[in-house]
């Protein structure tokens, strides 16, 4: 299927309350412009550098989402450029975001990324460290936590369902509490291979790359 067909089919099957992030990592400017022209305004990138380069030349009303792991030394480049950071996963990263955004008197909207499957190879905070991070978020002035993001271990439908449900439980529990600077509005989970499961469990933001743009070729860019 073409990008047009993928995008329109996907949009038509999504409930109104679900936000689609078209994950544009490795994609060319022309491909992204193509999806933009179909009405998409939310694009997700993994790398700060790539986000900046694309933002430079693409329409200014795009909402850029940083969905990949964020290194502290890159935070300064995101100030004023990013709509939502999905990958807050440590107190040290939080402090750098607070520092850089407050220096320009801007607010950083972020999601806390949880490593729900406890995978060594993945980023995201472990559940036992979550309280400490939440406490630190409550101390901030320029960081607002809008919800949770999760990437889950590869697995079959049953396994996806298990980890999505676990993440939703964390989201629901946090939602019942009242914290400073923290509201549980966004639950970002679900990618091309598993978004249907994620939606069943209650995700309201899905991050879709291949399901929009077709198969990714990492050799194409850089
Ligand atoms: C690449 C990526 C996606 C999209 O993956 P697809 O399988 O292409 O849909 C979603 N989330 C994150 C964090 C990613 O790095």
The pLDDT assigned to 62 comes to 98
> Which of 23, 197, 206 most suits a substitution to test ligand 1, by most atoms within 8 Å of the C-beta?
23
Atom in ligand 1 nearest the alpha carbon of residue 208: 9
Q: Is the pLDDT of residue 20 over 70?
A: yes
The dihedrals phi and psi of 211, each to the nearest 5 degrees, come to -70, -15
> Which of 6, 207, 212 most suits a substitution to test ligand 1, by most atoms within 8 Å of the C-beta?
207
The pLDDT assigned to 23 comes to 98
**Which residues in 159-180 are b (16+ Cβ under 10 Å) and which e?**
ebbbbbebbbebbeebeeeeee
Q: Is the pLDDT of residue 218 over 80?
A: no
Report the CATH architecture of 3-212: Alpha-Beta Barrel (3.20)
The pLDDT assigned to 59 comes to 98
Question: Which of the 8 DSSP states describes residue 178?
Answer: -
The pLDDT assigned to 165 comes to 98
Please give the distance, rounded to the nearest whole angstrom, from the Cα atom of residue 95 to the centre of ligand 1: 26
* Whole-number average pLDDT of the chain: 96
Q: Is the pLDDT of residue 34 over 60?
A: yes
Among the residue ranges 30-39, 102-111, 119-128, 213-222, the one predicted with the least confidence is 213-222
Please give the distance, rounded to the nearest whole angstrom, from the Cα atom of residue 51 to the centre of ligand 1: 15
* Nearest CA-CA partner of 99 in 129, 83, 78: 78
Atom in ligand 1 nearest the alpha carbon of residue 213: 8
Half-sphere exposure of residue 115: CA atoms within 13 angstroms, side-chain side: 15
User: β-strands 143-150, 205-208: how paired?
Assistant: unpaired
pLDDT in tens, 119-140: 999 999 999 999 999 999 999 9
Residue with CA closest to ligand 1 atom 10: 207
Residue identified by tokens 């107190």 is 91
Please give the distance, rounded to the nearest whole angstrom, from the Cα atom of residue 178 to the centre of ligand 1: 31
Contact 142, 101 (CB under 8 A): yes
Q: Is the pLDDT of residue 219 over 80?
A: no
Residue range 81-100: average pLDDT?
98
* Nearest CA-CA partner of 147 in 94, 88, 60, 195: 88
> Which of 67, 212, 215 most suits a substitution to test ligand 1, by most atoms within 8 Å of the C-beta?
67
pLDDT in tens, 156-201: 999 999 999 999 999 999 999 999 999 999 999 999 999 999 999 9
Binning pLDDT at 50, 70 and 90, where does residue 217 land? confident
Q: Higher-confidence residue: 64 or 1?
A: 64
Kindly list the protein residues whose Cβ atom lies closer than 6 A to any atom of ligand 1: 23, 25, 46, 67-68, 151, 191-193, 207-211
Please give the distance, rounded to the nearest whole angstrom, from the Cα atom of residue 45 to the centre of ligand 1: 9
Q: Is the pLDDT of residue 220 over 90?
A: no
Q: How far apart are CA 41 and CA 204, in angstroms?
A: 16
Using alpha carbons, list the distances in angstroms from residue 26 to 23, 73, 148, 221, 222: 9, 22, 25, 6, 8
pTM of the model: 0.96
Report how far Cα 31 is from the mean position of its chain's Cα atoms.
20
The pLDDT assigned to 90 comes to 98
Q: Is the pLDDT of residue 221 over 80?
A: no
């Amino acid at each position: 299927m073409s990008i047009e067909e993928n995008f329109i089919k996907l949009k038509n099957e999504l409930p109104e309350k679900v936000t689609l992030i078209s994950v544009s990592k490795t994609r060319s400017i022309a491909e992204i412009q193509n999806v933009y022209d179909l009405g998409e305004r939310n694009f997700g990138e993994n790398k700060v550098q790539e986000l900046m380069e694309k933002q430079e030349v693409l329409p200014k009303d795009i909402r850029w989402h940083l969905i990949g792991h964020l290194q502290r030394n890159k935070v300064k480049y995101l100030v004023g450029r990013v709509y939502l950071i999905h990958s807050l996963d440590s107190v040290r990263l939080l402090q750098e975001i607070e520092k850089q955004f407050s220096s320009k008197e801007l607010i950083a909207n972020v999601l806390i990324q949880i490593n729900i499957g406890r995978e060594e190879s993945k980023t995201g905070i472990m559940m036992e460290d979550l309280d400490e991070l939440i406490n630190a978020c409550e101390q901030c002035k320029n960081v607002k936590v809008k919800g949770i993001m999760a990437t889950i271990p590869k697995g079959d439908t049953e396994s996806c369902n298990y980890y999505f449900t676990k993440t939703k439980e964390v989201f629901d529990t946090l939602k019942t509490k009242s914290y400073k600077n923290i509201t549980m509005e966004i639950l970002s989970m679900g990618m091309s291979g598993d978004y249907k499961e994620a939606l069943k469990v209650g995700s309201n933001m899905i991050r879709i790359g291949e399901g929009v743009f077709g198969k990714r070729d990492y050799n194409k860019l850089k």
